[in-house]
């Protein structure tokens, strides 16, 4: 079952008291994107250009690219490739930070965000690969493009958490784990539109809080989709570059344990206590109802043998 309300509620718990690093990371992300888009935005205002919006995918990051009517195709191609490079690099770092927020309760510093830039090549290749395929599907009609963008939306999550699997494999797994849940992911993205509209009245400043909340919510959804796919056998540990023969290799770092809400922890503890009490009661009952042990004398033949031996 896809429970978007639970994923969003869990994101609030994960961010509680730990918003500082996410706000700084979001500020850097949006600031760099704004600077890169500034020249083209100025051109748009001067020449009344046509704006074409390209969605990176639900659960990803939405950006707009403006093409000037009087600019050369070479400039447009170069600008768009540069935007993919920058956006891919920033996205993989931000996604890595969101994953670590979802897997630990420890306070993370800004260095954790910077560490994600070591995977920049995966972010660029992943963004380029999914953008090309989304564009090709969009040529058929806009709706297939939206459907495929949702199908590819988990690619960066997979590359951030399992960098050894490669871009093509990550895309295939993303299509597998989103199978049957594209509509749920679409509705979940729509559920944040109200916040996005509200941020317009703050000139985008509110996005410093909305973006972390949204992306960690989608990160929680990613974890559940992946967990469900493994449990049902849709994908295997080998698909993720892990070995089912050696569980030690599959353990995450000690500092990064799966986050569970306090409610879930209490439920687990209650279930464990109930199980122990039930087991203890059953043991006592079995002991009390056990018949007395009667020691029978040895057979007469054995007694005669013993007497003869003496």
Q: Which tops the pLDDT comparison, 209 or 246? A: 209
H/E element holding 65? strand 63-67
- Angstrom distance (rounded) from CA 108 to CA 123: 22
Which of 25-39, 168-182, 240-254 has the least mean pLDDT? 240-254
More confident site: 199 or 288? 199
- For residues 199 and 46, the model is more confident at 199
pLDDT of residue 114: 96
Length, in residues, of the chain: 310
| pLDDT for the residue 28 | 96
DSSP 69: T
- Facing residues of 53 across strands? 64
Mean pLDDT of the region 26-54 = 71
Q: How many CB atoms lie within 10 A of CB 105?
A: 13
pTM of this prediction? 0.73
Average pLDDT of the chain?
A: 79
The pLDDT, as a whole number, for residue 46 is 59
Position with higher pLDDT, 274 vs 117: 117
Q: Quick check: 11 and 210 in contact, CB under 8 A? A: no
307's CB contacts (< 8 A; 6+ apart) are: none
Identify the residue whose tokens are 């879930």: 264
Contact yes or no for 55/146 (Cβ under 8 A): yes
Between helix 207-232 and helix 4-15 the angle, nearest 10°, is 120
pLDDT range class, residue 248, cuts 50, 70, 90: low
Phi, psi of 66 (to 5 degrees): -105, 130
Distance linking the first and last C-alpha atoms of the chain: 78
CA distance 151 to 77: 25
Q: What percent of the chain has pLDDT over 90?
A: 57
Query: Residue 217 contacts by C-beta under 8 Å, 6 or more apart in sequence?
Result: 4, 7, 8, 10, 11, 188
pLDDT of 219 above 80: yes
Instruction: Please report the pLDDT score of residue 293 as a whole number.
Output: 41
153-167, 232-246, 268-282: segment of lowest average pLDDT = 268-282
* SS3 (DSSP) at 189: helix
Question: With 60 as the cut, is the pLDDT of residue 133 above it?
Answer: yes
Element housing 161 (H / E): helix 155-161
Task: Please check the confidence at residue 296 and state whether its pLDDT lies above 50.
Answer: no
pLDDT tens-digit profile of 46-83? 554 444 444 444 444 444 444 444 567 777 788 888 88
Residue predicted with more confidence, 273 or 25:
25
What is the sign of the dihedral through the CA atoms of 263, 6, 259 and 106?
negative
Mean pLDDT calculated for residue range 138-148: 89
| pLDDT at 90 (0 to 100) | 96
Which of the residue ranges 18-27, 138-147, 193-202 would you say has the lowest mean pLDDT? Answer: 138-147
Of residues 251 and 240, more confidently modeled: 240
Between 287 and 201, the higher pLDDT residue? 201
Backbone angles phi, psi at 38, to 5 degrees: -60, -50
* Mean per-residue pLDDT, 12-38: 93
Q: What is the DSSP letter of 291?
A: P
């Amino acid at each position: 079952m896809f429970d978007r309300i639970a994923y969003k509620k869990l994101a609030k718990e994960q961010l509680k008291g730990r918003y500082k690093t996410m706000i700084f990371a979001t500020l850097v992300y949006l600031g760099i994107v704004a600077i890169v888009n500034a020249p083209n935005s100025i051109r748009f205002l001067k020449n009344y250009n046509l704006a074409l919006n390209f969605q990176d995918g639900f659960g990803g990051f939405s950006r707009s690219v403006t093409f000037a009517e009087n600019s050369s195709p070479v400039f447009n191609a170069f600008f768009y490739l540069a935007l993919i490079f920058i956006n891919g690099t920033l996205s993989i770092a931000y996604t890595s930070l969101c994953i670590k927020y979802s897997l630990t309760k420890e306070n993370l510093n800004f260095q954790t965000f910077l560490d994600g830039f070591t995977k920049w090549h995966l972010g660029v290749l992943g963004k380029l690969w999914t953008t090309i395929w989304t564009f090709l599907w969009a040529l058929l009609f806009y709706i297939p493009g939206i459907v495929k963008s949702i199908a590819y939306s988990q690619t960066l999550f997979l590359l951030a958490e399992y960098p050894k699997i490669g871009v093509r494999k990550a895309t295939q797994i993303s299509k597998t784990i989103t199978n049957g849940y594209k509509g749920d992911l679409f509705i979940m993205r729509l559920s944040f539109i109200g916040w996005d509209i509200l941020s317009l009245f703050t000139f985008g400043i509110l996005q410093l809080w909305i973006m972390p909340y949204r992306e960690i919510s989608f990160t929680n959804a990613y974890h559940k989709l992946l967990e469900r796919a493994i449990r049902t056998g849709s994908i295997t540990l080998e698909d993720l570059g892990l070995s089912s023969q050696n569980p030690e290799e599959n353990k995450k770092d000690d500092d990064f344990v799966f986050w569970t809400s306090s409610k879930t922890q209490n439920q687990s503890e209650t279930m464990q206590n109930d199980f122990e009490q039930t087991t203890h009661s059953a043991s006592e009952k079995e002991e009390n109802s056990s018949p007395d042990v009667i020691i029978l004398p040895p057979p007469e033949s054995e007694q005669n043998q013993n007497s003869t031996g003496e």
